[in-house]
Copies of this chain bind each other. A is one copy, B any other.
Amino acid sequence: MPREITAYSNPLIKRVRSLREKRHRREEGLFLAEGLRILTEARESGRLPVYLFFARDSAAHPLVRALVADVEAAGGEAIETVPDILSKLSGKDNPQAVVGVFEEFAVDLAALDRSTAKIWLVAERLRDPGNLGTILRTGDAVGAGGLILIGECVDPFSVEAVRASMGALFTVPIVQSGWDDFLAWLRGGPGQLVGLSLDTDQHYREARYAAPTFLLTGNEAQGMPADYAQACDVLVKIPMLGKADSLNAAVATAVMAYEVLARA
């Protein structure tokens, strides 16, 4: 039976709320995800929260009931609460019906099997959590094998990244790696490294792509370092007809990913 918490001062509420900060996520190894759609995606991917908070008036919803049952069967705790506390946990005025606390997870580079997908996404020094989440969401859509984060990227378990991923955080494997380790691993097997560049005449719709293709997305403000570009097997450009010289990082990744999906 779910217990009930209706007091802000409850220590668990304070603790869960602190997971909005990276420092506390690292200390606890836990992160927050919210909303029935994302939590159901997690459940279907075999990931259940250790704590599940749900609003009393959504307790009868079939997807909430399924979550509560599975969480309790797996040894987690389901907690009935009030909208105000859900607001406090999610940091939104209109809270979602459910908030889950999950254990962080990570995949090792060595555990990736590059033969399982024709597209892999690689991002270096990505700084915006919305971009990271959106890239995961696109990764899910194109059937990417995973997202490899190089260098100092924003935390994929931040509330904003999880939210923007719309659940893809649970379906697309995420690896964190240094550049040298990644490059050594990449060159230990088949794989084409493709990067976007302003300094090439190779149109992205005319380049040849060969699976598995690793699409490298550079930092939002600076793009990728010159030596990363030199390590690419193919550099391509996306035409820019306006005043600006770059696209949003998540948009550029998606345009490239769908091109490769159609032609690799």
Contact = CB atoms under 8 A, between A and B. Distances in A.
Nearest to A239: B261
Contact of A244 (B137, B238, B246): B137
Contacts of A238: 141, 258
Contacts of A134: 248, 250-251
A58 interface: no
Nearest to A247: B141
A168 B239 contact: no
Contacts of A90: none
B243 A138 contact: no
A174 to B, nearest CB: 14
Contacts of A171: 242-244
Contacts of A205: 262
Interface in A115-174: 130, 134, 137-143, 164, 166-168, 171-172
A248 B248 contact: no
Contact of A251 (B240, B251, B261): B251
Contact of A137 (B137, B247, B262): B247
Nearest to A243: B171
A41 interface: yes
A205 B255 CA distance: 13
A interface, size bucket = 35 or more
Contact of A141 (B130, B244, B262): B244
Nearest to A262: B205
Given A205-B262, A239-B261, A140 B244 contact: yes
Contacts of A140: 242-244
Contact of A248 (B137, B247, B262): B137
A238 B258 CA distance: 9
A248 B168 contact: no
Given A251-B138, A254-B251, A166 B244 contact: yes
23 contacts: A44-B243, A134-B251, A137-B244, A137-B251, A138-B248, A138-B251, A140-B242, A140-B243, A141-B238, A141-B239, A141-B241, A142-B241, A166-B246, A166-B248, A167-B244, A168-B242, A171-B243, A172-B242, A238-B258, A239-B261, A241-B261, A251-B251, A251-B254
Given A143-B242, A248-B250, A255-B255, 17 more contacts: A41-B243, A41-B244, A45-B243, A130-B130, A137-B244, A137-B247, A137-B251, A141-B241, A141-B244, A143-B241, A164-B248, A168-B243, A168-B244, A171-B242, A238-B258, A250-B251, A251-B254
